[in-house]
Structure formats: C-alpha cells, structure tokens
Amino acid sequence: MRTVALFGRPLRRRHSAAMHNAAFEAAGVDARYELREVDEAGLAEQVAEARRDRWMGFQITAPYKLLVMDLLDEIEPDARRIGAVNSVAAGPGGRLIGFNTDVLGFMAGVRKCLGGDVKGLSVVVAGSGGVGHAAVYGLATAGAGRLSVLDLDAALPRRLADDLGDAASIEALAFGDPVARDRLAEADLFVNATSVGMLSPGPVVDIDLLGPSAAVFDVVYIPAETELVRRARARGMRASNGDGMLVAQAAAAWCRWTGLPDPSETMRRAVAPLLAEDDPRP
C-alpha cells in the first residue's frame, strides 16, 4: 500500500483524510491518506521517511508551509511566489517536489461563486496572510482589474503588494481607511481571506458597505454559513463559502499523485457529513 499523509500541528479535522481515502477506494488505488501531527523536528523525520518508503507524496498545513520548503528538492514557481508549499509529490529516487494547490482551489471556488471569470473585475480582499497571498496571486494572474487588500494595519498588505507587485498593481489599505469604504462600495467581488467567522464571530466587514450587485466569497467553510455569507444572501447577493475551495485543493493534489481523472464529486460526497457535523448551528 502506498502512503500519503498530512503534516501539521494541531490536526483536529478529518476532512482531508475522508476525501482522499474515498477517492482512492472509488478508483481502486491501493493507498492510504493519514494524519500525522508532528513538531518541527518530527517534520524533518517524516520528510526523510517519505523519501525512503512507498510514498506518493504528502501535504502540509500550519505551521509548516514555509518551513518545509527547505527540506525539498524542488519548489514549483507558483509555490515560490506565494511563499508556501501545501503539497508535495514524491518522484523517482525519492525526489520531492513542492507545489501549492491554494490558488487553484481558491480560483475554482471564486469562479463558481461568480458564475464566470474575474477578468477586469474590481476586487477587495480582506486579509494578507498565507491565504490572502494565494488569493491575491490567483486574482492577479487571472486578470482581475483593481485589487485592494485590507488588513488591520496597512503595513501588512503593503508587504504583500511588494511581493506580488510584478503580477499586478495592488492597493494596500487598513480597514479604517476612508478609501477602504469607497473600494468596498465599488467592488464587484469581496473576498474574506481571514479566519473571521470561524475563529472569531461576526463578518469581517459590514455587508452594507458593499453594493447589492457584488459577489461575496468567504474562504471559511466551518460553519457552512458564516455571518458574512448569511448577511450577503439575505440581501440577495451571490455568496459562497470555502467548501468548494477545500474540495478543489484536495482534488488537484490527488490528480497530481495518481495521474487519474478528477475525483471532486466523490470527495464532495465524502466530506459532506463532516462539514454538516462541524456546523455549530442548531
């Protein structure tokens, strides 16, 4: 049996294992996806094991998406630009190649929310951390029009703008900046790339600051309907959470490891009970 694992700390959710193992079983692939919670020293040991044994690859979550890059043989260009690896393919001779499925998953979720492409659209992204980097990079390379990034301090999105400035012109703003209100009112798409709605309550911005024709995409997928998504839908706006992004990310890595067709439907059915179970609503 071949091995795939997710490394991180803490690992509290079974979503990735449920999706990948359902897809392996449906496709008749003799492989198993495992959750392996490790400390920093343990990560290096696990990567060494992946080189030696019958591994297809592995995935990495917080806090090791940057740290793992020094343990690999090759980093694909998109992952290097984003500054994070979340998936690794094991090749001949134990060669390990790092890649990132965050952008692909994010853009799949956004296009489904919009019912079309982002080219030329005015977009506001809340959050300039790892997910924000991936989101902005995806939007920039897909040809989004004006891109504004909000955070608690404008210095945070300014670093993102410096990192990705050759991909697009990115406006860095603090939430309290009066210009941020203007950008929200003019936005065709608003993206929440923070944990607000999952780790802390409430919408990250007042939904009434957005125009009624704007679309809202929230990367949070637990709960199934965040306060941001609920309020947007109550106004009749197009709004989606991050469950489509979750499935698309997993499917992209699975296809890379196996060379087989997209297992998204199988993965979606497998993870649905877990998403419902994690929903805190009565």
- Please identify every residue annotated as catalytic: 65
Q: Is 242 annotated as a binding residue?
A: yes
- Residue whose tokens read 């977009």: 123
CA dist 247 and 268 (Å) reads 6
Q: Does 130 show up as a binding residue in the annotation?
A: yes
Is 244 annotated in a binding site? The answer is: no
SS3 239: strand
- 197 annotated as a binding-site residue: no
Q: Annotated binding residue at 64?
A: no
219 annotated ligand binder: yes
Written as six digits, the tokens of 191 are: 């993206």
Dihedral Cα 145, 150, 153, 154, nearest 10 deg: 10
129 is in an annotated binding site: yes
- The answer to whether 131 is annotated as binding is yes
Q: Is 8 annotated as a binding residue?
A: no
165 is in an annotated binding site: no
Instruction: Based on DSSP, count helices (H) and strands (E) in the chain, helices before strands.
Output: 10, 12
| Strands (E) located in the chain | 2-8, 31-37, 55-60, 74-75, 87-90, 96-99, 123-126, 147-151, 170-174, 189-192, 215-218, 238-240
230-264 burial, b if ≥16 CB within 10 A, otherwise e? Answer: ebbeeeebbbbbbbbbbbbbbbbbbbbbbeeeebb
> Binding site membership: which residues?
61, 86, 102, 127-131, 219, 221, 242, 249
> Binding site membership for shikimate: which residues?
61, 86, 102, 221, 249
> Binding site membership for NADP(+): which residues?
127-131, 219, 242
